[in-house]
Structure 1
Amino acid sequence: MDTTKEQVMNRFNEHAAVYDEQRKKLIPCFDDFYSIPISLIESGKKDPSVLDIGAGTGLFSAFLKEKFPQAQLTLIDLSEKMLEIAKKRFNHEEIRYVTADYTKYQFEEQTFDIIISSLSIHHLSDEEKRKLYQNVYKWLNPGGIFINADQVLGHTPFIDSLYKQDWQQKIAASGLTKQQLETAHERTKLDRMSTLQQQLDWLTESGFHDVDCVYKYFNFVVLFGRK
């Protein structure tokens, strides 16, 4: 495991217990950020197979589960502590949990109808993102969809500075404590964001059809692709 991934794993292990309660304060567009991708997810099956990459505490999967109660979920994440929170969230439901690096893990002889991710892929290098999108395409069943709710780098330094300034102002007024704000800022040092256009291009290069950014709020975006 490279140094950055180990730092990400350790940081999220440390803050797993309080991760969910801070989400709405750290994501100014929280409601749209999760409700819009869920509204776009459709399946001809009552029990679609779903993979959540970088699943964390299972927050995104929980919203999907409300729409598809019989969905067959697989959650993969580096952080064992985050997945422990997910297990408590879903209680005794039959869900597969994988503690692993999803950039290296191989889902042998298993494919999915839906693959989702939220606020995880921006921790990867550009090359890892490109390779991951190729793997996601391979892991999907024909007609399957991929939705990534994540953060992107501004396409110019000035635009990126506007994104960061807006976020800093909004979380400063969110009610988080000084310590919580410092911790949030510290976590951003682990970010390795790419621009929106780069990621749309990589999805297209990977073979996805109907690639689009279906939602954007400063640097919070929802990306869509269909196999």
Structure 2
Amino acid sequence: MDSSKKNVQLKFNAHAAKYDSQRRQLIPCFDDFYSIALSLCQSEKESPKILDIGAGTGLFTSFFAERYPQGQFTLIDISEKMLDVARERFSNQSNMTYVVADYTKHSFTDKYDMVISSLSIHHLTDDEKCLLYQKIYSLLEQGGLFVNADQVLGKTPYLETMYMEDWKYKVEHSGLSMEDIKSAYERQKLDKMSTLDDQTDWLKQAGFSDVDCVYKYYNFVVLFARKV
């Protein structure tokens, strides 16, 4: 494991216990961000197979598990401590599979009806994102969907500064303690965000159709793509 991913693993292992309780303060658009991502994932199957990459505590998966209680879910994350929280969250559900691994390197053996991700892929380099989108395409069944609720880099330095200043203002007036705010800023140093345009281009290059940014709030976006 390279040093940057090791840093991600260590930071999120350390933060696992507090992660969920701070989501609303750290994501100003929390309700729209997650509800729109969920609404995009329509399946005619009663028991779709859904892969959550960078699943963390299982927060994103939990919304899909409510919609598809008979679904078969695979949660993969580099942080074992984060997945421990997910195991506790879904302790009474037998339709969850957990994989502690680097999803950019892991050899998947199944195909999925949906691949979902939330606030994880922005930790990858541009090249890693591009290769991951190709990998996700190969993991999907025909007609399968990919939805990524994530953060993107502003198209220009001016826009990026505006996005960050807005986010910091809202975080610092959210009620979080100064210790928690400083911890969030430390984790932010792990980010390797790419522009929205680059990411939609990489999705198209990977073979996806119907690629779109369905929702955008400053640097928070929900991306949609379909394999046909």
Aligned to 1:179: 179
- Give structure 1 stretches of 5+ with no counterpart: none
* Coordinate RMSD, CA, aligned: 0.5
- Deviation readout 1:18-64 (Å, 9 max, x if unpaired): 00000000000000000001111111101000000000000000001
2:159 is matched by which residue type in structure 1? I
The percent of aligned pairs where both chains have the same amino acid is 59
Aligned to 1:199: 199
1:84 is matched by which residue type in structure 2? D
Q: CA deviation at 1:7?
A: 0.2
Q: CA deviation at 1:92?
A: 2.9
1:40-51 to 2 correspondences below 5 Å? 40-51=40-51
Aligned to 1:92: 92
- Deviation readout 1:178-224 (Å, 9 max, x if unpaired): 00000000110000000000000000000000000000000000000
* Other structure's SS at 1:210 match: strand
Q: CA deviation at 1:91?
A: 1.1
2:59 is matched by which residue type in structure 1? L
Aligned to 1:105: 106
1:52 is matched by which residue type in structure 2? D
Aligned to 1:80: 80
* Other structure's SS at 1:5 match: helix
- Deviation readout 1:132-161 (Å, 9 max, x if unpaired): 000000000000000000000001000000
Q: CA deviation at 1:169?
A: 0.3
- Deviation readout 1:51-101 (Å, 9 max, x if unpaired): 000000000000011111111000000000000000010113121100000
1:1-227 to 2 correspondences below 5 Å? 1-94=1-94, 95-108=96-109, 110-227=110-227
1:77 is matched by which residue type in structure 2? D
* TM norm structure 2: 0.98
2:82 is matched by which residue type in structure 1? M
The separation in 2 between residues aligned to 1:21 and 1:162, in whole angstroms, is: 26
The separation in 2 between residues aligned to 1:131 and 1:35, in whole angstroms, is: 28
* Other structure's SS at 1:186 match: helix
The separation in 2 between residues aligned to 1:144 and 1:12, in whole angstroms, is: 30
* Count of residue pairs brought into register by the alignment: 226
Q: Runs in 1 of length 4+ with deviation above 6 angstroms?
A: none
- Give structure 2 stretches of 5+ with no counterpart: none
The separation in 2 between residues aligned to 1:172 and 1:114, in whole angstroms, is: 36
1:171 is matched by which residue type in structure 2? V
1:15 is matched by which residue type in structure 2? H
* TM norm structure 1: 0.99
The separation in 1 between residues aligned to 2:41 and 2:136, in whole angstroms, is: 16
The separation in 1 between residues aligned to 2:137 and 2:105, in whole angstroms, is: 15
1:115 is matched by which residue type in structure 2? V
